[in-house]
Structure 1
Amino acid sequence: MKKICLMAIIAFIVATFTVHAQDNTVLWKISGNGLKKDSYLLGTMHIMCEDDYILKDKVKNLIPLVDVVTFEVNLASEENKALIPEMMKPDTSFLKGLSQGELSKIDSILISQGLSVKMLEMMSPAVFVSVLSLKSMNCSDPRNVKTMEADIQTLAASANKKIDDLETLKFQIDMLNSMFKASDLLKYLEKIDEMPAVSNKMVTAYKAENLKDLETVIYDSSYMSKEEQADFLTKRNNNWINKMPAKMTQSSHLFAVGAGHLVGNEGLLKLLTAKGYKLTPIL
């Protein structure tokens, strides 16, 4: 009887530690399922204010250990570099179809933020929303924002590591163009006063590596519909999960993707586990 109780207590402690660990790390080791070498999955935050940014040693120390560093997109590839100007081009028909009242509302909100609807004549809608997102982060100096993927890529290049990707920049451009409409811009702008608080929650959750809180912020605070969230996260996760096994069989990878892709019922952590891999938190 005492032995059974002791085993139950041990099991409870292990389970409690596992739950705690799962909630508090963005870096995971992928092993088992016939892999000869371990791979790793890192959830990144694409853009952060310099004051908030840190690339932890546990990530830096992994780069020399893997064969390949794999991003969502390899922006440094010659093919993708050639596509970046295309991604920046304005869409002259973007605002067509909106009523005069909706156009006036967009213009009024942008003016209140020190911006102008004329910015859409100089950049693509997706880039414009990136500008709005950056503004919502309230960086002390927006010119010094940090990009985690860029730092990781620099370290990978210094270590002579191969760079790979999970999708093409063309795919991302086509996806954003098909997903993001003028009505989505209006929905975003209608919530723009809430966005600094949302950004702060996201940064706080990320710095604490608290996936549970991060999931809540991403899914409960998004201006995207459930269908758009599925296109942006779920469908891409399922595309990636079909590519990752072959990559991991051939080489040891550090997969660095947006942290939002790790969480949720169809996040990469659950999808990899369902495929038979063992996911171990790196604290």
Structure 2
Amino acid sequence: MKKLLCSIALFLTGFGMLHAQDLEKSLLWEISGNGLTESSYLYGTIHMTCDASLGTDVQKALDDTKLLVLEIDMDDPSMQSTMMKGIYMKDGKTIKDLVSEEEYVALSKFVKEQIGMPLEALANVKPFFITAMFYPKLLGCPVQSYEEALMKVAHEQKEEVLGLETIEEQLDVFDQIPYKDQATDLLRSAKDNLAYDKESFQKLNKLYGNEDIEGMITMMEEDKNLTSTKHKDKMLDNRNKKWIDKIGEHAEKQPTFFGVGAAHLAGKNGVIKLLRKAGYTVKSVE
């Protein structure tokens, strides 16, 4: 179960993509204007990587700010216990309610082979989070996290770490997305033994390495996963819109470094364009 929680925590920090146009290839953006006396910074992370080393430009932005704000407060000591309460389906639903008997047998074999756990032990876990357990295997290397790297710097600088939303709010997204659609995505992963997922993950990481936030969005629009296409409003848009006022509030109080999944940066309803719409100047840091 600890492995499950670690996978979920990493995956939650960067899920979902959406379409955009005309934004530079950059992961680091400066936020100014609209009454701000000092600049804040917005940085796009990726939830799992082989190398989470921070560039000199990112380090300088961290040095120039006084607060780190991630999607969720990963310093919260209650995060793990809260997560445990939110990963389970409501109303007594189980995986068996979402798939046929034949599909259940295939899933049981797949889960056992991939993570060494019987599916019965995960019977009432939301299907999305069962899928998330496989993702560290897609890298082919020990998993590193940009969020952890950012937090390390914040701790060294004795700065506070906060979140734009609560872990409860993130987990609630997967009650809004039908469990049946989540199960469909899980079955797709099982049917080709993660072949599609591995190919997609490698492509996504390459785009991220090139800081191509628009390419990432386009790729995910064409993805086979229902959670990131059919339900992109729940995965991204609605959350982005809620974050804008909170970003402004933090930035007004002190220069702040915001670290969110790179998926949230671009798009009509991406954080960059929403901040500009709210009156802020947001420009790439090259």
Q: Which interval holds the TM-score relative to the shorter structure?
A: 0.7 to 0.9
TM-score normalized by structure 2? 0.80
> Which structure: larger Rg?
1
Percentage of matched positions with identical amino acids: 23
Residue 30 of structure 2 aligns to a residue whose secondary structure is strand
1:114/1:75 Cα in 2 relative to 1: closer, same or farther (>3 Å)?
Answer: closer
The gaps in structure 2 that reach 5 residues or longer are 1-21
1:145 equivalent in structure 2: 143
Asked if 1:233 corresponds to 2:236, the answer is: yes
Gaps of 5+ in 1: 1-18
* Aligned residue in 2 for 1:193: 195
Please give the residue correspondences for 1:162-241 in structure 2 after superposition, counting only pairs within 5 Å. Answer: 162-179=160-177, 181-191=179-189, 192-225=194-227, 226-241=229-244
Give the corresponding residue for 2:30. Answer: 29
In structure 1, C-alpha distance between the alignment counterparts of 2:115 and 2:81, rounded to whole Å: 32
Aligned amino acid, residue 30 of structure 2: K
Write the letter of the residue equivalent to 1:101: E
Quote how far apart the aligned CAs of 1:213 are.
Answer: 1.3
For 1:151 and 1:232, the matched residues in 2 are separated by 24
Q: TM-score, with normalisation over the residues of structure 1?
A: 0.81
Q: Deviations over 1:99-148 (max 9, x none)?
A: 223323433554675765345259664432211222233x13xxx31011
Distance 1:179 1:160, change over 3 A: same
Aligned residue for 1:23, secondary structure, equals coil
2:253 corresponds to 1:254 = no
CA 119–183 in structure 1, closer or farther in 2 if over 3 Å, else same = farther
- Figure out how many residues of one structure are paired with residues of the other and give that number: 258
Q: Distance in 2 between matches of 1:234 and 1:27?
A: 20
- The code of the aligned residue for 1:94 comes to T
1:148-198 deviation digits (Å, cap 9, x = unpaired): 101111110110112121001111122224426144233243143211110
Of residues 259, 272, 276, the one that matches 1:269 is 272
The answer on whether the counterparts of 2:89 and 2:126 sit within 8 Å (CA) in structure 1 is: yes
Once structures 1 and 2 are overlaid, which stretch shifts more, 26-35 or 216-225?
Answer: 216-225
Provide the secondary structure at the position in 2 that maps to 1:209: coil
Contact 2:28 2:285 in 1 (8 A): yes
